[in-house]
Amino acid sequence: MRIQVVPLIVLFSVSLYAAPSGETLFQGNCVTCHDHTKTLSAPSIKEIQARYKSVFHTKEAFVSFAVRWLNAPEAKSAILQDAVKKFELMPTIGVDQESLKAIAEFLYDGSS
């Protein structure tokens, strides 16, 4: 029994290690428009985080809305209505579901 369990644990840790973090994924896909603290061509992460947290009071609600919205951004359900008017609607970014979830969790937890 023991012999079978060990390789599973090893495999599990290797796959955890290999998965890119939400922050890395954010740097790769989102940072061109979203800075951490400055508003450039889009609201900063800090602003998005604060505005989302004032609407969604749990991490689950925050993340699930963000993932759903990012799959298909639409003006009418956007939380930052003023930003849609100011910058126009964000384009859809081609990122898989797992990565979107990791990015949304990073948006909630914030950068250190």
Closest CA to 69 of 91, 50, 85: 91
3-state class of 68 per DSSP? helix
Nearer to ligand HEC, 24 or 93 (CB): 93
Nearer to ligand HEC, 13 or 92 (CB): 92
Q: Which residues bind ligand HEC (CB under 6 A)?
A: 29-30, 32-34, 42-43, 48, 66, 69-70, 73, 78-80, 83-84, 87, 89-91, 93, 95, 103
CB of 17 to ligand HEC, least distance (A): 23
Which whole-number Å values give the CA distances from 100 to 17, 49, 61, 94, 106, in the listed order? 18, 15, 14, 9, 10
| Angle at the Cα of 110 from the Cα atoms of 105 and 62, rounded to 5 degrees | 40
Nearer to ligand HEC, 46 or 78 (CB): 78
CB of 18 to ligand HEC, least distance (A): 20
CB of 94 to ligand HEC, least distance (A): 9
**How far apart (Å, rounded) are the C-alpha atoms in residues 66 and 7?**
36
CB of 10 to ligand HEC, least distance (A): 32
Nearer to ligand HEC, 6 or 99 (CB): 99
**How far apart (Å, rounded) are the C-alpha atoms in residues 70 and 64?**
10
